[in-house]
Structure 1
Amino acid sequence: MARKKRGSGDNGQGIDEWILTYSDTVTLLLTFFILLYTFSTVDNQKLKSISQAFQAMFTGQPGQSIIEGSGVTPDAPLESEVNPENMNGELYNVYEQVKAFIDENQLDASLQIKEDERGIILQMKDSILFESGKAELKEESTPMLSKISGLINSLNNPVIVEGHTDNVPISNYIFKSNWELSTARSVSVVRYFIEGKGLKPERFTAAAYGQYKPIAPNDNDENRAKNRRVNILLVVSEKEKKK
């Protein structure tokens, strides 16, 4: 007996399988967005990032990652304001020396003290050290860096110099991305300490993060300026906390 062909008259059994798959996918997406709305207040920027990620998934076009769009980076040490009351041991000693150095040299307007899980951070805005889009140190920045080199020389801690940018794309004949710019800037500072001031090279690490470790949302000029920074991290091997 000849088999019956599947068709539109076969009680709906002829519906193409791709339509069923598509309908399942749409249902799952709808459920996902309902859950987002149910469990939290929807952040428009995050929702836009999620939409872009799904667009990339279905169309194969480049899209912003969900993690990047939320302003969060995996395993990124979180910079925070210093709380001396929670410190003791080496961490407290390093903080005290950094605080005394800033007060003595009246550098409160140029340097901020921060901390993360690795140690104490001296944070500077990029405009103090560099012209926009450039990685050569301003001549007027070297007196301050010279003083910082004296502080570093008085300590034994390893030093990590970190370059950070905002999320505004850069592409010129020198730098093709924010990665290259932040790398060149951190290396410029390290070279100054080593070649200009004679500090031991084995103490230094140059690190670059581009736009991917922001400390503020990149949603206005003021916040973008906060993200354009250079961190000089004094590493404390065992970060002790008061109990």
Structure 2
Amino acid sequence: MSKRGRRHGLIPPWMVTYADLMSLLLCFFVLLLSFAEIDLIRFKQLAGEMKKAFGVQRQVPAEVIPMGTSAVFDRFSPAEPEPTLRDEVRQITSLERPRHDTHREQVRARVEQRVREIHLNIEDALRSAIDAGGVRVERDGTNVLIRIDEQGTFPSGSAQVTGDFSALLHELSDILVLSPGNIAIDGHTDDIPIRSSRFRSNWDLSAMRAATVANILLENEDLEPSRLTVMGHADTQPLAPNETEQARARNRRVEITLQLGDAVEREVLAAMFPLSEG
């Protein structure tokens, strides 16, 4: 610039470019500042509308059981509120077990207790026969199985009971009257074929022995005949291979199964949830 221009106070040419650059930088930072200030409420509204428009779905891992909620607690939680930095209400889903699951567990526990009680009562009533070795009482789930060996109960090849066995069955009938459930009586033989004037095969013998036991039990008039079923299985369900005399003697038996499951469950439910009178 000439000395004349400096003397008269003229603006240098580069100052115009510098001023334009500063103006542009100022506008740029003002725009950045406006972008940084986000209206949180407006942003959440826009995000919600975008979610509905594009069908965004909450992702739940496959191994996690989805937890439901109710319309009543859609906005408010029954738990204690937790302070948050934002003005919002949060609901926490608890792992509380549904009431019907608790009732089911209570019913199962009482059914198990009742079955165990009946099992012990039968064992006590048949203690002398159990100690002598001719009778075994076992649990099979919710069933109580009374297994009676042939020795001391039926003569070989016969369906006539001995006097001691008849007395034992009378004692057992008193227990069965006081116990719920159906009663299955099954006759079993070994694999040695039988053919006589009375029995054509082991099928006849096993069925007749089961029927004889049922008839003696039903001499107790308090025992309902509709609760009993009788079946003969011959040698089709052995407890051990018919290879020795001891195994064959074990397979010749009569089994009385007290089927407690459904009957005891109904009994427990009636006690837990009695019907209101009137």
Distance 1:167 1:92 in 2: 39
Kindly state the Cα deviation for residue 207 of structure 1 after the two structures are TM-superposed.
1.1
Distance 1:132 1:201, change over 3 A: same
1:101 and 2:125 equivalent?
no
Determine if contact 1:161/1:190 at 8 Å carries over to the other structure. Answer: yes
Change in 2 beyond 3 A, CA 1:159/1:106: same
Conservation of the 8 A alpha-carbon contact between 1:95 and 1:120: no
Q: Is the 8 A contact 1:91 1:119 kept in 2?
A: no
Q: CA RMSD in A?
A: 2.2
Give the deviation of 1:197 after TM superposition.
1.5
Map 1:203-214 to 2 at 5 A: 203-214=227-238
Q: Which has the larger radius of gyration?
A: 2
1:193 aligns with 2:217: yes
> Secondary structure, in 3 states, of the residue corresponding to 1:128?
coil
Query: What residue ranges of structure 2 are gaps of 5+ in the alignment?
Result: 1-107, 266-278
* d(CA) in 1 for partners of 2:225, 2:155: 26
Trace 1:126-137 onto structure 2 (pairs within 5 A).
Answer: 126-137=150-161
Q: Scaled by the length of structure 1, what TM-score is found?
A: 0.58
Q: Distance in 2 between matches of 1:147 and 1:134?
A: 23
Q: Tell me the CA shift for residue 143 of structure 1.
A: 1.4
User: What CA deviation, in whole Å up to 9, does each residue of 1:92-141 have, x standing for no partner?
Assistant: 52343232332355232332122446721011101232111001121221
1:226 aligns with 2:250: yes
Assess if the C-alpha contact under 8 Å between 1:90 and 1:236 holds in 2.
no
Number of the residue aligned with 2:146: 122
* CA shift in 2, pair 1:140/1:178, >3 Å: same
- Bigger RCO (CA 8 Å, 6+ sep): 1
> Separation in 1 of the partners of 2:232 and 2:183?
14
1:149-185 CA distances to partner (integer Å, 9 max, x unpaired)?
A: 0110111210001101111111111111110000000
CA contact 1:161–1:233 (8 Å) conserved in 2:
yes
Comparing 136-145 with 178-187, greater Cα deviation is found at 136-145
Q: Tell whether 2:203 aligns with 1:179.
A: yes
Q: Distance in 2 between matches of 1:206 and 1:175?
A: 17
Deviation at 1:91, TM superposition (A): 4.9
Secondary structure of 1:94's counterpart equals: helix
Q: TM-score, normalised by structure 2?
A: 0.51
Whether the 8 Å CA contact 2:186–2:210 is kept in 1: the answer is yes
Structure 1 gaps of 5+ residues are 1-86
CA distance in 2, matches of 1:118, 1:179: 28
Q: 1:153 aligns with which of 174, 177, 182?
A: 177
Runs of 4+ in 1 over 4 A off after TM superposition: none
| CA–CA distance in structure 2, aligned partners of residues 193 and 104 of structure 1 | 15
Conservation of the 8 A alpha-carbon contact between 1:149 and 1:197: yes
Contact 2:189–2:202 under 8 Å retained in 1: yes
Q: Is 1:141 aligned with 2:141?
A: no
- Number of aligned residue pairs: give it: 153
* Counterpart secondary structure, 2:168: helix
Quick one: percent identity of the two aligned structures?
A: 27
SS in 2 for 1:129: coil
For residues 58-77 of structure 1, what are the structure 2 equivalents within 5 Å? none
